[in-house]
Chains A and B, each alone.
Chain A
Amino acid sequence: MRIPCPHCGERASEEFSYLGAADPLRPPPDATAEAWHAYVFLRDNPAGNLREFWHHVHGCRRWLIVTRDTRTHAIAACVDPRA
């Protein structure tokens, strides 16, 4: 795969490490056990676009959010969450 890093340009996927879905948001400290359980353990497995974290370990070392179609690997977007 080729990932278009917003800082470094298009790079091979081996430069990155993968974490998983980017959309679950870290709950506030006093959230319920269920909310924490969902954040830490529950993930959707969509057939289609998935927003996910890729860490550009051998590049700019930014955690990027890549929108990838899980069926085709087509990448619709790659953004820095700070942007």
Chain B
Amino acid sequence: MMRLAAGGLIDRSRSVRFAFDGRVYTGHPGDTLASALLANGVRLLGRSFKYHRPRGIMTAGPEDPCALVELRTGARREPNTPATAVELFDGLEAQSQNRFPSLRFDLMAANGWLAPLLAAGFYYKTFMWPAGWWERVYEPLIRRAAGLGRASGLPDPDTYDRAHLFCDVLIIGAGPAGLAAALAAGRSGARVVLCEADARLGGRLLAETCEIDGQPGAAWATSTEATLRAFPELRVLTRTTVFGAYDHGTYAAVERLADHQPFPDAHQPRERVWRIVAKRTVLAAGAVERLVAFPGNDRPGVMLAGAVRCYLNRYAVAPGQTAVVATGGAEGWRTVEALAARGIRVAAVVDRRAEVPPAQAALAQRIGARLFAGARIGATRGATNLRTVIVEGATGGAQRLTADLLAVAGGWNPQVQLACHLGGRPVWDETRAAFLPPTTPPPGMEVAGAAAGRFGLGESLRDGTRAGSDAAVAAGFATTAPEPPSAPDDDTPATPIWLMPGRKAFVDLQHDVTMDDIALAHREGFRAVEHFKRYTTHGMATDQGKTGGVLGMAAMAALTGRSMAETGTTLHRPPSTPVAIGALAGRHRGKDFRPTRLTPGHAWAAEQGASFVESGVWLRAQWFPRAGETEWQQSVDREVLAVRNGVGVSDVSTLGKIELAGPDGGAFLDFLYINMLSTLPVGRVRYGAMLREDGFVLDDGTVARLEAERWVITTTTANAARVLAHMEFAHQVLRPNLRVAFVSVTDRWAQYAVAGKRAREVIQAVLEHAIPDAAFPAMACGTFGSARLFRISFSGELAYEIAVPAREGDALVRRIVAAGAVPYGLEALGVLRIEKGHPAGGELNGQTTARDLGLGRLLSARKDFIGRAMALRPALLDPARPTLVGLRPADRRTRLRAGAHLLPRDAPARIEHDQGWITSAAFSPTLGHPIALALLTNGPARHGERLRAHDPVRDGETEVDVVEPCFVDPEGLRLRG
């Protein structure tokens, strides 16, 4: 057992059981999965991405590049979570990743011998030829070999939440600087939100032995938390990672509500994404320890020096029994002290400096550690675990040291990502040996503490106090900065980046990028940071190169002879840490992604056994099958014939309906539509079409004048929202002086089309009112009680549309059917309109003009309207433009399909012979054969011509005859009824 006898912030009074690769272990509340595994002597956690090298635990935080595991089982199985970020709970199940057949014995480790083949850019070079092998051989091979964990492949059983927070001061990170900032801002009365990724406040205070105001650091964090929670306007969000900074003080954070439990409680979301809008922000995200590059620096047992202290102090775990510490300054020597204080043997200290300060040399002597000054790590050895460290001295001799822990002090990288999300570039600071936040962080943000490169505890507390107070003042709260918590300043000089080249000296452990790969990229000319990053995939794994990224930059800087400042670093973009897609989606999943709207008659249609289809945001009845009908075509044919020979009823409530009122309504309609509408008399309806300003058709529909200053217009179902926005623009921006008001009333009315030669008797029965043709002719409209009646026809039959307030819709449709009308659905509606040659969805495609659709005669020359000028462009008047025609198959049998292209009969099927395409097609039960509408070049002049309809996608090839687009009753006798 590696658990220390005393100390740590774990609850030793309780034990929790967990499983790793099927074996059961125990740990304590307060452990992470990583600390509990280390306490049980488990150090090998997975295999690496490319070379399948054994990997273990390198850090003590969520930035770990290689301690990735799969968590949970079944539908909740999730890959690639760092064990260092997993809070231990009873019943946790974890598996190692990327091993075959087992973690200890991995066949793919042979990839290590193939390393020359897998170097940077290998997939660009190795898998080039033959081209046909790419899809069949290379890609499946690479996909099987690469990648880390496995996704469950099952729907996620958990729910996720999205929520909003507004605050005066957002503080990101609850380490010493963040806590000091929260104390200073909180006492001003400002609304403060303090976000901390860890379950516990304190940051590095939990990992180090230090004192603040005379208390141990961890105890000060606990008492400070109590103070903060007493501020009524301060909110603490733990287990919450702020992962993105956006414009105007907007931040995104993910709160892990149930990841520390086996599964969420009933009705509890697993995670919640917060959108936080803050007047001011203090970024106190601290710093992340960085790696040191040397051959074999990835072996389990190699650990960052600060992580070693964290395991010793916070988790009371010895990460090894015999340690070697590699350092270039005080950072490593603090780790030597911590190890010695916990009774762990330090076999040797490897200090890159030739002159080690006497106090440190004396410490080595006191604890019996060998001191190698001016030395470096030459290699590490050990099959799946560190056994030997090879030290190369200044004079060239090599020493083999037996050790199972190699603590490396690589220095610290300020966590500047959020300060760079709006495009700022980090700035290299030579004295602190780190990239600091950009000189212009996002407006309203200030960076404090270690995130700003102020690593000392005392200066971090002072900086946080000042930043918190300044933020509150800037947010409008009168306050003065309190006395900062007091702690000694340590004058630790910064740790420079340390590169020791050699074979398998990794700079990116998650993507297996080595110093050799950087050198290769350099030789091949990929030298700019953004180039070699992509060529080697350095820093592109889920850890985003938090521990190793800067080493790659330093390696390239050394190769090119440029400074770190000149080399620079890559751009940071959100998210700064992996976020589950489910959390980003929140509740917007499945049908909740876009809720379905139901018409008032939906329940009635469902009772009739209607088959429904999505139409825009609506669910509409497609057809109403009857007993004995085995195929949809039978139902649709019957419904069409019912309309043509008797009477049918269809729900048209989904059509957009906009009501207008005002003395200038007529002038406004004239401006919107291509035809004259101001002349429309009260009680009459007129068909109209609207253009976009570029001259193409936007939408079509009817305009009914209900009263002298009141109109209701219809739009197509799909364009209802667009037309309303278009009208608002036309009124508010282009014609603000017109006295007109309008509002969408689509949802307020249930509307039914009643069509067929018996339509009048049905309507009279329903209204209990006589409507003789003379009193209510074609294109009439009027009000009957709560109902509005329009004598308009989409089918070409004698037809009415009757609208009632939505709550009366269900009753109305039942009465219409009781009066003898046969329900017909969207399919029959489509067949009826194709038989009549009315343009709809397939023809109103945004690329057709009024003339293309045979509506050219509507274009009024007597007024200005939107799109008029551009509709008169010569190119849009060209008769060679594809124009609406009707088609029928030459054999009167073969089905026609929308999308087929039209070619001369004798021309080969090549693009230069293309003359148009089929836009809508149907079987016409009225005519007994298939029909179609098409857009054909020079269309109206070609009636009677025979063409090829060529459909290579569906292997269709048919001869068609060009005819008038109106197939049924071209004289329009039926609708006059």
Question: Which residues of A approach B to under 8 Å, CB–CB?
Answer: 1-2, 12, 17, 19, 26-27, 29, 31, 33, 36, 39-41, 53, 55, 57, 61-63, 72-75, 81-82
Whole-angstrom distance between the Cβ of A32 and the nearest chain B Cβ = 10
Contact B873 A2 (CB under 8 A): no
CA distance A31 to B246 in the complex (A): 43
Q: Is the CB of A29 within 8 A of B869?
A: yes
Known A63-B729, A82-B736: A40·B247 in contact at CB below 8 Å: no
Residue of A nearest to B734 (CB): A26
Residue among B249, B275, B694, B736 making CB contact with A81, cutoff 8 Å: B736
Contact pick for B868, options A12, A29, A55, CB 8 Å: A29
8 extra A-B contacts, CB within 8 A, seeds A2-B250, A81-B732: A1-B247, A2-B248, A17-B725, A29-B869, A33-B873, A40-B693, A40-B870, A81-B736
Bound-state Cα–Cα, A23 to B247, Å? 24
Hey, which chain B residues are within 8 Å of A29, CB to CB?
864, 868-869
A50 to chain B, nearest CB (A): 15
Contacts of A26 in B (CB 8 A): 693, 734
By a CB distance below 8 angstroms, the chain B residues around A82 are: 732, 736
What are 5 A-B contacts with C-beta separation under 8 Å? Answer: A1-B246, A12-B277, A19-B729, A81-B736, A82-B732
On chain B, the residues within 8 Å of A81 by CB distance are 732-733, 736
Chain A positions within 8 Å of B422 at CB level: 72
Chain A residues whose CB sits within 8 angstroms of the CB of B733 once the complex forms: 53, 63, 81
Q: Which residues of A contact B725 (CB under 8 A)?
A: 17, 55, 57
- Quick one: CB contact mask for B220-254 with A, threshold 8 Å, 1 for yes? 00000000000000000000000000111110000
Chain A residue at smallest Cβ distance from B867: A40
Cβ of B693 and Cβ of A73 under 8 Å apart?
no
Q: Which residue of A lies closest to B869 (CB)?
A: A36
Q: How far is the CB of A74 from chain B (nearest CB, A)?
A: 7
List CB contacts (< 8 Å) of B869-906 with chain A: 869-870, 873
CA distance A29 to B249 in the complex (A): 45
Closest 9 CB pairs of A and B: A2-B248, A29-B864, A36-B869, A1-B247, A73-B247, A63-B732, A40-B694, A63-B733, A63-B729
A residues less than 8 Å from B392 (CB atoms):
none
Q: Is the CB of B728 within 8 A of A27?
A: no
Please, how many angstroms separate the alpha-carbon atoms of A53 and B728 in the complex?
A: 12
Q: Tell me the bound Cα distance from A51 to B639 in angstroms.
A: 54
In whole angstroms, what is the CA distance A24 to B247 when docked?
27
| B443 CB within 8 Å of chain A | yes
Neighbouring B residues of A1 by C-beta, 8 Å: 246-248, 250
A36 CA to B725 CA in the complex, in Å? 22
Among B248, B725, B868, the most chain A Cβ lie within 10 Å of the Cβ of B248
> How far apart are B377's CB and chain A's nearest CB, in angstroms?
46
Bound Cα distance A33, B275 (Å): 48
CB distance from B138 to the nearest CB of A (A): 42
Q: Could you tell me the distance between the alpha carbons of A77 and B678 in the complex, rounded to whole angstroms?
A: 38
If A29-B869, A82-B736 touch, does A74 touch B250 (CB 8 Å cutoff)?
no
Give B275's nearest chain A residue, CB to CB: A12
Question: Which residue in chain A gives the minimum CB-CB distance to B873?
Answer: A33
Query: Is there contact, CB below 8 Å, between B732 and A12?
Result: no
What B residues does A73 contact at CB under 8 A? 247-248
The answer to whether A61 and B247 touch across the interface, beta carbons within 8 angstroms, is no
* CB contact under 8 A between A2 and B729, given known A36-B869, A40-B870, A81-B736: no
Chain B CB within 10 Å, residue with most, of A27, A73, A75: A73
Q: Which residues of the other chain, A, contact B246 by a CB distance below 8 angstroms?
A: 1
Which one of A12, A62, A63, A75 contacts B250 once the chains associate, using CB atoms below 8 Å?
Answer: A12
Question: A27: nearest residue on chain B (CB-CB)?
Answer: B869
Cα of A27 to Cα of B736 in the assembled complex, Å = 16
A74 interface neighbour in B443, B694, B736, Cβ under 8 Å? B443
Contact A2 B249 (CB under 8 A): yes
B246 nearest CB neighbor, chain A only: A1
Q: Which residues of B426-475 have CB atoms within 8 Å of chain A's CB atoms?
A: 443
**Interface readout for B249-275 with A: 1 if CB under 8 Å, 0 if not?**
110000000000000000000000001
Per the bound structure, the CA–CA distance linking A62 and B736 in Å amounts to: 12
Q: Which among B249, B250, B693, B732 has the greatest number of chain A C-beta atoms within 10 A?
A: B732
Residue of B with least CB distance to A2: B248
CB distance from B693 to the nearest CB of A (A): 6
Mask, B682-701, CB within 8 Å of A = 1, is: 00000000000110000000
User: What is the bound-complex CA distance between A27 and B864, given in angstroms?
Assistant: 11
Distance (whole angstroms) from the CB of B737 to the closest CB of chain A: 10
On whether the beta carbons of B728 and A63 are closer than 8 Å, the reply is: yes
Q: Are B729 and A55 in contact (CB under 8 A)?
A: yes
Instruction: Kindly state the separation between the CA atoms of A49 and B728 in the bound complex, as whole angstroms.
Output: 25
Q: Is the CB of A61 within 8 A of B869?
A: no
> How distant is B251 from chain A, measured CB to nearest CB, in Å?
12
Chain B contacts of A62 at CB under 8 A?
728, 732
CA distance A39 to B695 in the complex (A): 13
CA distance A75 to B443 in the complex (A): 12
Residues of A within 8 A of B864 (CB): 29
Q: Which residue of B lies closest to A56 (CB)?
A: B728
Q: How far is the CA of A17 from the CA of B729 in the complex (A)?
A: 12
**Distance between Cα atoms of A27 and B870 in the complex (Å):** 12
Give the residues in chain B near A19, CB-CB below 8 Å.
729
Which residues 724-741 in B have Cβ within 8 Å of A in the complex? Answer: 725, 728-729, 732-734, 736
Which chain A residue shows the least CB distance to B729?
Answer: A63
Q: Say yes or no: B247 contacts A2, CB within 8 Å.
A: yes
A51 CB to closest chain B CB (Å) equals 12
A25 to B275, CA, bound (A): 38
- State in angstroms the CA–CA spacing of A12 and B864 once bound together: 37
CA distance A40 to B246 in the complex (A): 32
Report the bound CA distance from A55 to B729 in whole Å: 8
Rounded to whole angstroms, the CA-CA distance of A1 and B249 in the bound complex is 8
A65 vs chain B, min Cβ distance (A): 9
- With A and B bound together, what is the CA distance between A31 and B693 in angstroms? 14
List the B side residues contacting A61 at CB < 8 Å: 728
Nearest Cβ in chain B — how far from A4, in angstroms? 9
Name B253-306 residues within 8 Å CB distance of A: 275, 277
Q: Mark B162-175, 1 if CB is under 8 A from A, else 0.
A: 00000000000000
The CA-CA distance from A66 to B41 in the complex, in Å, is 62
Q: How far is the CA of A52 from the CA of B32 in the complex (A)?
A: 51
Closest to B721 in A: A57
Q: Which residues of A contact B868 (CB under 8 A)?
A: 29
Complex contact B870–A36 (CB within 8 A): yes
- Chain B residues lying within 8 Å of A39, measured Cβ to Cβ, are 693
Shortest distance between the CB of B154 and any CB in chain A (Å): 31
Residues in A with CB closer than 8 Å to B729 are 19, 53, 55, 63
